[in-house]
A and B are shown apart, each in its own frame.
Chain A
Amino acid sequence: MKLPERKHLSGFTLIELMIGTTVVAGLFYAIATTSLSASNTYDETMRRARLVTKAHKVLDRISDEFVEAELTTITPALPGVGASTITYRVPGSLAGSVITWSGNRTIAFQTDAGEFDDGIDNNGDGRIDEGVVLFTIDAGLATQKQVTLCHDVRSLLGGELSNLGDDNGNLMVDERGLVFELTANVLTIRLTLEDIDEDGNTLSKTVQTSVRIRN
C-alpha cells in the first residue's frame, strides 16, 4: 500500500512564538521605561524652574521695597539672628528738603490659612506649617492694607530642621522659610518655597538676594 505523501507545513512553532513574543515585550518595556524616565525628568525640571522663578519674583518685589527704605527704621535683624518679620518706612512725600515718611510697612512670614504652627498638616495639603509672605502697608493704622505676595513658603528655611540647631550652616537657628538679615546697610533676604506633586513628592528651593539700603 502506498502511503499518502505528507505535505510540508510552513510556520512557527509554539516555542518560537513564545521566544519572539518575550523578546519584543522586553524591547517595548525598555523603550517605555526610557520614555517614562525622560518624561519624569522633564516634569521635575520644569517644576524646579517654576518654583525658582516664582521665588525670584517675590524677592524682586521685596527688594524693590527696600531700595527706598530708611535704614534707621528697619527692624534690627542682627547677623546670625535673622528675623521673619521686618518693619520699615519709605519716603511718602518731599516738600523742599523735608521728607515725610510713610507709615510702618511690614513684610512677614505668616502661617497659611487653616494651618497652625504645631508640626501637623492641619489643612491637609501635604505640607506642614507652611506659610505666606504677607505685605502690610500702614501697619496698625486705620488705612492698613495687606496683600499676600506668595503662598507655599516652607515653615523653615531650606536645610533647617526644628531642633534648636544650625543645620544649614548660616549661623541662624531654626529660621523661618522667609528670613531677613541686616548687616551694616546690606539686607540679605532668603526665601524657601515648596511644592508637592500629585504623587506627594515634596520639592523645595531656596533663593537669596542682597539689597543695599541707600537712605
Chain B
Amino acid sequence: MRLISKSPVNRPRSRSGFTLVDVALATVILVVAAGGLIGTVISTSRLARTTEETADAYEAARAMTEQIHAMDATTVFTTFIGAPNFDVTGLGAVADDADGLVGEILFPSVGGELREDVVDASLGMPRDLNGDGAIDALNHADDYIILPITIRIRWMGVSGRQTADLSLLVQG
C-alpha cells in the first residue's frame, strides 16, 4: 500500500538562513565600522575648537613678543623676571598650574639671575650674553647685549594638555 502524504506542501530537507557565527561576525564588523566612524565624527567636532585654541595661544604669544620688542631691551629682563606669567582670554590653565596663568616668559635664569651657563637647547643656551667672549656663572641682568626668550603658553584644551612656544632674541 502506497502511503499518500496529506500535506500539499513539500517540505525541503535543507533550511536556508544565517548561522549564529554568521550573525556574530557580521555584528562585530558592523560595530568596528561604526566605532571608527563615530570616532571620526568626534575628532572632527573637536578639531574646530582645538584649532581656535591654538590660534589664540599663538596670537597671545605674538602680542607679547611685540610688547617685548617695543620695550627698552636693557629693561626686559628686570621687568618680567619678577612677574613672568600672564593670562590668555579663552584658554584654561592645566590642573597643576600654580598661579592659574597659562602664559609664561622663560629666561635663561637661575634663582632670578640671568646666567650664561644655563643649559636649555630651546634658548640656545649656554651662550655668551654680554659679548665678553666667555660663558660664566655670573649674573648678567644688567649687562646683557642679547637675551634669548621663550614665550610659552600651556593650557588645558578639549584635546587635553596643549603647549605653544614662541622664541625670540632681544638685542640690547
Q: Which residues of A contact B (CB under 8 A)?
A: 3, 5-6, 8, 23, 27, 30-31, 33-34, 37-38, 40-41, 44-45, 48-49, 52, 158-159, 168-169, 186-188, 205-212
Contacts and interface: CB of A to CB of B under 8 A. Distances in A.
Contacts of B70: 186-187, 210-212
Given A45-B48, A207-B59, A6 B10 contact: yes
Contacts of A188: 67
Interface string B39-67: 01100110110011001000100010011
Given A40-B48, A52-B55, A209-B66, A3 B89 contact: no
A34 B37 contact: yes
A209 B63 contact: yes
The majority secondary structure among interface residues of chain B is: helix
B89 A168 contact: yes
A208 B62 CA distance: 9
Contacts of B63: 207-210
B89 A45 contact: no
B115 to A, nearest CB: 28
A44 B48 contact: yes
Contacts of A41: 44-45, 47-48, 51
Given A30-B34, A208-B63, A210-B66, A158 B89 contact: yes
A116 to B, nearest CB: 29
A48 B44 contact: no
Contacts, number: 68
Interface of B: 8-10, 12, 30, 33-34, 37-38, 40-41, 44-45, 47-48, 51-52, 55, 59, 63, 66-67, 69-71, 87, 89
21 contacts: A3-B8, A3-B10, A5-B10, A30-B37, A34-B40, A34-B44, A37-B44, A38-B44, A38-B47, A41-B47, A45-B52, A48-B52, A49-B55, A52-B55, A169-B87, A188-B67, A207-B59, A207-B63, A209-B66, A210-B66, A210-B67
Nearest to A3: B8
Given A158-B89, A210-B67, 10 more contacts: A3-B10, A30-B38, A37-B44, A41-B45, A45-B48, A52-B55, A168-B89, A186-B67, A209-B63, A210-B70
Nearest to A35: B44
Contacts of A159: 89
Contacts of B12: 8
A31 B37 contact: yes
